Structure 1
Amino acid sequence: MKAVILAAGYGTRLQRDVAADRSGSFAHLAGVAKPLLPVGRRELASHWVRALRAAGGVDEIYVVTNEVYQEAFQLWSSSFSNVRVVSDGTRHNEERLGAVGGLHLVLQHFLVQDHLLVVGGDTLFREDFSLVEVMESFRAAQQRSEDSCLVLSYVCRDEETQKYGILEVDEDQRVVCMKEKPSPSETSSRRACPCFYVLSKKSLPLVDTFLKDKKDAAIEEKDAPGNFVSWLIPRKPVYVHRVSGRFDVGSLASYVECDRYFKEKLQNDDAYMV
């Protein structure tokens, strides 16, 4: 299995918050890509590299970034033997390929023909999350069908459904559909879907199909990776693995919350996410 960390975003909201902060406490975050932000003892993306290596099953990790942050990622990746970086060639947020475009670039650049774990570069999970358990769930799904993919879900509050993609599942834990930011009255489900997917190798050619279908669509349709998952659900079996919650580093406030958790509440940093 391979893994890809989606890190080609420009973090405009976070950088705007950092620039607006008058305390001076966060000046060191200016110009830092979100996956390279210090979270606890190490960079956010380093938590993933360490956990993926410790859990086993993933032999290469790809990072897709942009021209602005490529040098920083190359320097960071030099500490790891199995991390490879590719730039999407853009220098401005308006030029971005979107998360699905970045995923497609990785597939083409590295000629990926294996199962692929996809994670957002601004995403981490609570301490009870286990990559070993995720791999076991994926293997179980693969025993049902070699086409099967896996996504995660956690329970969100009623008022939060309009912030996330919400999964509806059947009694076999197969996803029936994903509703994008529905009102609480539009669905009885409260299963939010974070940016973490295990895509079967048989599903990977559909990334190209999706982008061809959306070639004239606005960048927003190709930016949110959940849009690809929603499109994938009627075409391939997609099963769900439940987790308790996540950290989504989008703003300065959400970064501070995440960093505080890792500094003050994380019990076992060495076993985290394994």
Structure 2
Amino acid sequence: MIALILAAGYATRLYPLTKDTPKPLLPVQGSRTILDLLVERLEVLEEITELLIVTNDRFYPAFERWEQSYTGPKQVRILNDGTASPEERLGAIGDINFVLEREQVQDDLLVLAGDNVLGFGLAGYLDYFHRVNTDCILVRTVDDLEELRSIGVAELDNELRVLSLEEKPQHPRSNIGVFALYIYKQSTLPLFERYLAAGGNPDAPSYFPEWLHSRQEMRAYYTEGTIEDVGTPEAYAEMRARLSSNEA
């Protein structure tokens, strides 16, 4: 299995913090960055053979410097999608397809947002994927209506098969939030190109499974752990203070 970390966004809501520093490389626990914490979650997964990090042309040098200082056990490669401004961005699904075409990936694929801080390990999720042997999304219960309106929302049957999935619904059909942690079987990967060729929205990563679940079986994996995405400078300062305090 290959892990693909999506890190080609520009995080304009966090300006000026992210004017020259990509969001995944913001320090959140002492000198440790969001990306450092995410990669630590991946290092303990033996079946992950390689970490691919896709970024844009503006931030490519910063990620290359990070990669040169990385001393962990995984093979890491930084990929430049060639965009240089928010207006040019490929979108999350566009970046996934860019990587699939460039690298000719022939493995199962774990896709992660590069700007999330996870409060749980991923071994259980991978075990579940192998047990059900189908594409998977990661979900957790969300009771805040405004948060549900800002993420993907799913409906599931009793065996956790995905019945519906809607990105950023104004009227959520459930309290099952979908987060940017997906596992796709190698046989599914060619469908990204088909989705985009048919005019599919390339932006948010949940748009692809929203399209896919009605074409082939997809299952959901529940987590009770926290998934934090820092959206404002104030929220970033709060997270950094809390995580640094936990380390002390």
TM-score (norm 1): 0.83
Contact 2:52 2:78 in 1 (8 A): yes
Matched, 1:36 2:7: no
- More helix per residue: 1
Give, in angstroms, the shift of residue 179 of structure 1: 2.0
| Aligned mate of 1:256, from 237, 244, 248 | 237
Contact 2:192 2:208 in 1 (8 A): yes
| Alignment correspondent of 2:109 | 116
Partner of 1:223: 203
Residue of structure 2 equivalent to 1:272: none
Mapped to 2, the partners of 1:50 and 1:181 lie a distance apart of 30
How many angstroms apart in 2 are the aligned matches of 1:153 and 1:36?
Answer: 25
Q: In structure 2, what is the Cα distance between the partners aligned to 1:119 and 1:258?
A: 20
**Residue matched to 1:191:** 176
User: What is the distance in 2 between the residues matched to 1:50 and 1:82?
Assistant: 13
| Amino acid across the alignment from 2:91 | G
2:162 matched residue in structure 1: 175
Task: After TM superposition, give the deviation of residue 158 of structure 1 in Å.
Answer: 4.3
Q: What corresponds to 2:15 in structure 1?
A: 15
Q: CA deviation at 1:30?
A: 4.7
**Residue 55 of structure 2 is aligned with which of 49, 53, 65?**
65
| Secondary structure of the corresponding residue to residue 172 of structure 1 | coil
Take 1:75 and 1:230, find their aligned partners in 2: how far apart are those partners?
36
2:169 aligned partner, one-letter code: P
Paired residue total? 242
**Runs of 4+ deviating beyond 4 Å:** none
Q: In structure 1, what residue type is equivalent to 2:5?
A: I
Structure 2: stretches of 5+ with no match in the other structure: none
What percent of counterpart residues are identical? 33
CA distance in 2, matches of 1:259, 1:56: 29
Q: Which residue of 2 aligns with 1:150?
A: 136
Contact 1:203 1:236 in 2 (8 A): no
Task: Measure the CA separation in 2 of the matches of 1:94 and 1:231.
Answer: 25
Q: SS state of the match for residue 64, structure 1?
A: strand
Whether the 8 Å contact between 2:24 and 2:35 is mirrored in structure 1 is yes
Q: SS state of the match for residue 206, structure 2?
A: helix
Offset, 1:65: 0.5
Q: How far apart are residue 258 of structure 1 and its match?
A: 2.8
C-alpha distance in 1, partners of 2:198/2:77? 29
Specify every segment of 5 or more residues in structure 1 that has no aligned partner in the other structure, as ranges.
Answer: 19-28, 143-147, 268-274
The separation in 2 between residues aligned to 1:256 and 1:237, in whole angstroms, is: 41
Per the normalisation by structure 2, the TM-score is 0.91
CA distance in 2, matches of 1:54, 1:130: 9
Q: Partner amino acid for 2:141?
A: V
Distance in 2 separating the partners of 1:183 and 1:265: 36
Counterpart-to-counterpart distance in 1, 2:214 and 2:156? 12
Q: Could you say if the C-alpha distance between residues 67 and 179 of structure 1 is closer, same or farther in structure 2, counting changes exceeding 3 Å?
A: same
Contact 2:137 2:182 in 1 (8 A): yes
> Offset at 1:164?
1.6
CA contact (8 A) 2:8 2:54 kept: yes
Contact 1:162/1:182, CA 8 A, preserved across alignment:
yes
* Structure whose residues are more often strand by fraction: 2
Task: Judge conservation of contact 2:117–2:227 (CA < 8 Å) in 1.
Answer: yes
